[in-house]
Amino acid sequence: MKSEIHPKNYRMVVFKDISCDYAFLTRSCVDTKDTIKWEDGNEYPLVKLEISNMSHPYYTGKMKLIDTAGRVDKFRNRYAKSTAKKAAKTAEK
């Protein structure tokens, strides 16, 4: 193995699943600007997750639609615009 390829700045970090408010504390070297006060009273860096084992359908056994940024609505709007253009072209002919 190559030497000196692993990061040296490991520290305790909180990862929080924003879809179900599940959080866990672990060691990581990820950079983040957010912080959170943990159960032990200390403040730790915070990494926000969209999905974790507590919200993923494979682990929960439930299908759940997670629409974090209106992605489904954005897709429907684009699709509606393209079908409207096709309908307008067909109507012109």
What single-letter DSSP state applies at residue 7?
-
pLDDT, the chain, mean? 82
What single-letter DSSP state applies at residue 57?
H
Looking at 5-14, 21-30, 36-45, 77-86, which range is the least confident one? 77-86
Q: Give the pLDDT of residue 46.
A: 95
Note whether residue 71 is domain-resident: no
Note whether residue 80 is domain-resident: no
Percentage, residues of the chain above pLDDT 90? 35
Note whether residue 15 is domain-resident: yes
Note whether residue 75 is domain-resident: no
CB-neighbour burial class of residue 16 (10 A; exposed 0-12, middle 13-18, buried 19+): middle
Whether residue 23 has pLDDT greater than 80: yes
Whether residue 69 has pLDDT greater than 80: no
For residues 48-64, average pLDDT? 72
Number of domains composing the chain: 1
| Domain region containing 25 | 11-66
Rg (CA), the chain: 22
